[in-house]
């Protein structure tokens, strides 16, 4: 869940550095994040960029977790997925992608995460919804795929991998397995 917040506008390798820093400092539990001064927390997550804002977001998240669920993740993830998503979205700094990442990766809930990679690939393939919104992209997957956590997790991981290897901002189309159906390549 910490990773879902820290990865906003950051490369995962920088998030991993921050998580190691938090773990080494003994600041990876909700209580420890709450008890750590925000400026110290910001220094521990410096590698992720926007560290002051992200420190505030982490503080807001763990405060909500304490108030709503007494830091009990089992109790939190026992809540209906749609209701929990609404709660997460009400927390400062938690937007749709972050909420859905928490639900999918930490809560094992069948929620498809829409990120910049997904939008880029599906846009280039000409598979965009009529209106370019997070919800419409998510509906594209939810309607056309079985609601399965493992499937969503693997599919999203494959999208990320493909975007990093081929469908970059400046694409590498030569060996792309999708080049025959890609509108960008044509």
CA dihedral 138, 144, 145, 147 (to 10 degrees): 70
Q: Residue 31 has what pLDDT? A: 98
Q: Are residues 59 and 133 in the same domain?
A: no
Range of the domain at 101: 2-106
Q: How far apart are CA 30 and CA 6, in angstroms?
A: 15
Q: Are residues 46 and 131 in the same domain?
A: no
Q: Digits of tens for pLDDT over the chain (186 positions)?
A: 999 999 999 999 999 999 999 999 999 999 999 999 999 999 999 999 999 999 999 999 999 999 999 999 999 999 999 999 999 999 999 999 999 999 999 999 999 999 999 999 999 999 999 999 999 999 999 999 999 999 999 999 999 999 999 999 999 999 999 999 998 866
Q: Are residues 120 and 100 in the same domain?
A: no
Q: Are residues 118 and 84 in the same domain?
A: no
Q: Residue 96 has what pLDDT? A: 98
Q: Would the pTM of this model clear 0.85, i.e. be above it?
A: yes
CA dihedral 85, 89, 90, 91 (to 10 degrees): 110
Q: How many domains does the chain have?
A: 2
Q: Residue 184 has what pLDDT? A: 84
The residue among 43, 37, 58, 47 whose CA lies nearest residue 9 is: 47
The residue among 38, 39, 45 whose CA lies nearest residue 10 is: 45
Are the C-beta atoms of 8 and 54 separated by less than 8 Å? yes
Are the C-beta atoms of 56 and 25 separated by less than 8 Å? no
Q: How far apart are CA 1 and CA 8, in angstroms?
A: 12
Indicate the SS3 state at residue 133.
coil
Residues in the chain: 186
Q: Residue 160 has what pLDDT? A: 95
Q: Are residues 71 and 141 in the same domain?
A: no
Q: Are residues 134 and 120 in the same domain?
A: yes
Of 76, 106, 136, which residue constitutes the final position of a domain?
106
Q: Are residues 130 and 166 in the same domain?
A: yes
Q: Are residues 70 and 102 in the same domain?
A: yes
Q: Residue 186 has what pLDDT? A: 67
Q: Residue 171 has what pLDDT? A: 94
Q: Residue 104 has what pLDDT? A: 97
Are the C-beta atoms of 69 and 76 separated by less than 8 Å? yes
Q: Are residues 148 and 162 in the same domain?
A: yes
Q: Are residues 147 and 62 in the same domain?
A: no
Q: Are residues 59 and 150 in the same domain?
A: no
Are the C-beta atoms of 44 and 22 separated by less than 8 Å? yes
Instruction: Check the CA dihedral 14-86-152-131 and report its sign.
Output: negative
Of 60, 84, 106, which residue constitutes the final position of a domain?
106
Give the CATH number for residue 124.
Answer: 1.10.1670.10
Q: Are residues 66 and 134 in the same domain?
A: no
């Amino acid at each position: 869940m910490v990773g879902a917040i820290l990865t906003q506008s950051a490369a995962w390798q920088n998030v991993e550095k921050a998580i190691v820093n938090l773990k080494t400092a003994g600041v990876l539990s909700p209580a420890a994040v709450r008890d750590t001064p925000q400026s110290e927390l910001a220094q521990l997550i410096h590698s992720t960029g926007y560290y002051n804002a992200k420190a505030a977001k982490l503080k807001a998240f763990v405060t909500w977790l304490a108030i709503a669920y007494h830091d009990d993740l089992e109790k939190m993830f026992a809540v209906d997925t749609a209701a929990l998503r609404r709660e997460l979205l009400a927390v400062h700094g938690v937007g749709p992608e972050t909420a859905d990442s928490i639900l999918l990766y930490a809560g094992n809930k069948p929620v498809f995460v829409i990120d910049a990679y997904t939008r880029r690939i599906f846009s280039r393939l000409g598979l965009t919804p009529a209106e370019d919104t997070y919800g419409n992209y998510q509906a594209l997957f939810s309607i056309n795929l079985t609601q399965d956590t493992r499937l969503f997790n693997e599919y999203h991981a494959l999208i990320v991998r493909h975007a990093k290897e081929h469908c970059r901002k400046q694409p590498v189309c030569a060996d792309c397995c999708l080049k025959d159906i890609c509108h960008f390549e044509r």
